Amino acid sequence: DERSVASHYELRDVIYEKSPEGIARVTINRPERRNAFTPRTVKEMRWCMDDARDDMTIGVVVMRGMGDLAFCSGGDQSARGDGGYVDAKAGGAEETPRLNVLDLQMQIRRMPKPVIASVAGYAVGGGHILHMVCDLTIAADNAVFGQTGPKVGSFDAGYGSTHMARLIGQKKAREMWFLARLYNASDALKMGLVNTVVPLAELETETAVWCREILRNSPTAIRLCKNALNAAEDGQAGIQDLGGSATLLFYQSEEGNEGRRAFLEGRKPDFSKFKRFP
């Protein structure tokens, strides 16, 4: 029941689908590399996230990896130059290195609709961080989680560390980063890293069930709850996001529109009729 999205943006590493019921699905399509991402993969995912945000028919976004073996194995180590991750330019020259996956993490945090990670197989390295910054994680029973960065000379000292500590606690977060072990799905459930674990064959169906349950609820209530949960972690940037939603609501009110109308009509605004709620 899904239709692919025709767009002006050429997607090569990612498959983007939207269903009429309001679910957008972003699939990393590099199974031969366990769905590792390059800067190009991330740019494509960012384009999809922008589209899903702006599309008012979409109420929930699902992120997944192609195949059963991996959700995402993090940064593609073969795309890592001396200064960081790069795409090769024509002629073999390197582009300017930039860790653009941090922008993707921010987009997921700021998406005013839930983003669900649907994890089969490995979610490791930067791929593990992507599932952590998603609002919910549904794991298949073959899922494996871990931070492999310290083994390959990499780390994420942003959400990858601090949000992890909020999810699983300081001791466990330090264990995950310092030892770089891998954890199976039932460990992950006990640690609070994922919301539920289902048999691999049921992952897609169960993800759709969660999406549909979300879609039945008030989009504005969900948006504000997400804003608030983020704001408790994100400081001033989180308050800005919550504030943006408050402004969106206020602009839809009579009181907000009285100010605009008065200005355009060249008169003084009359706010006297609006209640000062306790």
Site for ligand 2NE in 108-147 (CB under 6 A): 122, 124-126
Q: Binding to ligand 2NE by residue 73, rule CB under 6 A?
A: yes
Least spacing, CB of residue 75 vs ligand 2NE, in Å: 4
As measured in angstroms, the least distance from the Cβ of 86 to ligand 2NE is 13
Give the one residue of 100, 105, 137, 148 binding ligand 2NE; rule: CB under 6 A. Answer: 148
C-alpha span between 60 and 80 (Å, rounded)? 32
Q: Which of 34, 46, 110, 113 binds ligand 2NE (CB under 6 A)?
A: 34
13 binds ligand 2NE (CB under 6 A): no
CB burial readout 196-235, b (16+ within 10 A) else e: ebbeeeebbebbbebbeebbeeebeebbbebbeebbeebe
Q: What is the H or E stretch that residue 81 is in?
A: strand 80-81
**List 59, 65, 149, 238, residue binding ligand 2NE (CB under 6 A):** 149
Q: Who contacts 157 (Cβ-Cβ below 8 Å, separation ≥6)?
A: none
Q: Closest separation between CB of residue 94 and ligand 2NE, Å? A: 17
Residue 1 Cβ, how far from ligand 2NE at the closest point, in Å? 32
* Cα 5 to Cα 24, 26, 176, distances in angstroms: 10, 11, 38
- The C-alpha atoms of residue 269 and residue 60 are separated, in whole angstroms, by 39
Is there a contact between 127 and 72 (Cβ–Cβ < 8 Å)?
Answer: yes
161 belongs to the binding site for ligand 2NE (CB under 6 A): no
For residues 66 and 15, is the Cβ–Cβ distance under 8 A? yes
User: For ligand 2NE, which is the closer residue by CB, 194 or 242?
Assistant: 194
Residue nearest to ligand 2NE (CB): 74
Half-sphere exposure of 31 (CA within 13 A, CB side): 10
Q: Does 33 bind ligand 2NE (CB under 6 A)?
A: yes
For ligand 2NE (CB under 6 A), the number of binding residues is 23
Instruction: Confirm or reject binding of residue 46 to ligand 2NE (CB under 6 A).
Output: no
Site for ligand 2NE, rule CB under 6 A:
33-34, 36, 70, 73-78, 99, 101, 122, 124-126, 148-149, 152, 154-156, 160
